[in-house]
Structure 1
């Protein structure tokens, strides 16, 4: 089965370009398009895409609100990648905090676009970890944010779970974390699942953002 993608962008030429790039791959199928975040919900419900590739800035409903609405109202929601012109964009950080799984630059090369969509769909690797760290520094609520710190403290992560979270923040995959800790990949998967459950995080991105904002992992 191909990986299915929904494109959401108010610029037709951007959608045309993204469709051409993605559909050049035999394992990816674009199943629909929308010109604004307000149209995302019915399309997601009807088409059930694996991944939504969505512009972060749109006139009626931006990518932040669209992401928040999808995750709040759609059972078993798709992965969401927001697209932006500028990497250090507060809208991007807002979308990531709202639950987006990663972001892409509009100037990204075709190979980077298809690679990012596949990575997000697989879910065991943080997309552009260094950029997420920079966004946390620039737009986070502050090192040692009280709310985020309380969330991490209440999670009561074990020592090993804390190690796993720090390695996740470095962008390591499950296999790479297993190599660092000299444990099996299945053991790492269990630790990652525990970290996400304890932090109430949807995925690695949200867990890492909480780690940076709380000061559990240094963003400097």
Structure 2
């Protein structure tokens, strides 16, 4: 069963979440292959350690080097799946925000967050925690279309989830303050920190443990969300995996 409800009675109670930040590995290496190889020792041990319903989130930045764009995120997704039996459930796009006029002309305009699971039918994902306001609720067809036919089965369902609409996988800040109705007036990129908060909210519950690799800069964000920040020792991770095998 995939957890997508905000009903606290149905949430699991013993899950942990994992975050790996590959941005430094990508930016500090001379080739994309070298960057991926640097992470080679992580994926099998992580897969062996994780519970079946726990989730893995990988932060990756695309790079422009030597006149070529490195498709680092998708290359990492393929590399990780070749190393371990993870399933890529989704990719989250987060646009970069910069007011620096001196940056290079050719830089990536966005980072991507790869969302991996072990079991595609049983993983922790609380979508209701990050739903956003409906764009046209109450404004279309005289505000009378409260129900409609489900796209998945031939039954009548409520048209608008009371907790808001699915945020999709391109995360933006939605501004509805410029006009007096509910319509969406403008969208803007969300800060990187906010994108991590959203990952934490959907992938874990309060007081659960968030294990990180190469992501000490996320400690404050994690603890502010009332989760326990744990920095994984890669050597210990490998030793655990070797003992299990």
Q: TM-score normalized by structure 2?
A: 0.27
Larger relative contact order, structure 1 or 2 (CA cutoff 8 Å, min sep 6): 2
Greater per-residue strand proportion = 2
Greater per-residue helix proportion = 1
Q: TM-score normalized by structure 1?
A: 0.30
Specify the structure having the higher radius of gyration (Cα): 2
